[in-house]
Each structure stands twice: as structure tokens, then as C-alpha cells.
């Protein structure tokens, strides 16, 4: 099993190469690439397609994703993805819709056979968790 703690590797993920959306067939495994690494990048890219309806920034760059856990299913090279995430506030008006949109985006990936989420408020979200990309989008820097 492999777990990615996004908060500890955010800059590596944000600046690292992505395959989703740039290659005509982003799910073909490049020679020498690890299937989990390619899937991990594709999951992050899929999450980046989901935007907070109140802010013009995707939920990944907002810092709402705390952890991605990939567990493989060896007979067909697919993964179950568990997403640990938070919301900007406990009484967030999109508390039901936002996680479901993330699960739908990730579940659409060919290498994913299941996706689930856990919402936590530990640590509570704060604007310091946003990526530099999000800060620029919101004119906070």
C-alpha cells in the first residue's frame, strides 16, 4: 500500500510533471514509469478539475486535500483511492456536493476501480494551506 501525504509534498506535486491533459493518451504507462506514480499524478490532475463554487480556485490548490491513499488491485492493475480532505469551514454550504464531485472526477480515471473520502477538520483549514497558484488566483500575494 502507498500513501501520499499531500501537505508534505505539495510543492513536489505542484511542480512535478503531469500526464493528464497533456498527452493524447495520458494513461499509457511511459517506459520506466511506476504505475502508482502515474496514477497518483492523474488523481491529482483529476482533483484539480473540481472547483470550490464560492472561489475560482480548484480544491487541490486551495489545500483541501490532506492525503491520498492508493491501494492496488493486482489482478487488473487498478487502484482504490481514499481521499482525506477538509472543507474551508465545518458549516460549509457545499459539504455534501464538493466531496462527491471529487469522487466522481477521480472515479472516472481508467486506473481507478473505487474511490472514497474522509472529511477531517484536524488540522482545520486556513488560508496558509493554499498553494502559491491559488494565492495568485485570489490576489493574496
The pLDDT, as a whole number, for residue 35 is 78
pTM, full prediction: 0.77
User: Apex CA 91: angle with CA 107 and CA 134, to 5°?
Assistant: 60
The residue among 90, 111, 30, 36 whose CA lies nearest residue 68 is 36
Summarize pLDDT for 35-62 with one digit per residue, the tens: 788 889 999 999 999 998 888 899 999 9
Place of cell 497518483: 40
Question: Phi and psi dihedrals of 99, rounded to 5?
Answer: -60, -35
> Which CATH number among 3.10.20.30, 3.40.50.2000, 3.60.130.10, 3.30.300.130 corresponds to the domain 2-23+33-126?
3.30.300.130
129 touches 45 (CB < 8 A): no
The pLDDT, as a whole number, for residue 93 is 87
Summarize pLDDT for 65-114 with one digit per residue, the tens: 999 999 876 677 889 999 999 999 989 888 889 999 999 999 999 889 99
Domain boundaries, the chain: 2-23+33-126
Amino acid at each position: 500500500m502507498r500513501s501520499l501525504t499531500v501537505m508534505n509534498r505539495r510543492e513536489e506535486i505542484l511542480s512535478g510533471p503531469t500526464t493528464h491533459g497533456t498527452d493524447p493518451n495520458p494513461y499509457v504507462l511511459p517506459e520506466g514509469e511506476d504505475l502508482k506514480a502515474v496514477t497518483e499524478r492523474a488523481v491529482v490532475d483529476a482533483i484539480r478539475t473540481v472547483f470550490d463554487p464560492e472561489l475560482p480556485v480548484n480544491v487541490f490548490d486551495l489545500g483541501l486535500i490532506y492525503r491520498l491513499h492508493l491501494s492496488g488491485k493486482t489482478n487488473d492493475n487498478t487502484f482504490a483511492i481514499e481521499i482525506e480532505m477538509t472543507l474551508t469551514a465545518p458549516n460549509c454550504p457545499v459539504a455534501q456536493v464538493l466531496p462527491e464531485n471529487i469522487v466522481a472526477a477521480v472515479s472516472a480515471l481508467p486506473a481507478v476501480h473505487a474511490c472514497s473520502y474522509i472529511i477531517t477538520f484536524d488540522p482545520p483549514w486556513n488560508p496558509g494551506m493554499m498553494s502559491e497558484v491559488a494565492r495568485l488566483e485570489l490576489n493574496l500575494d
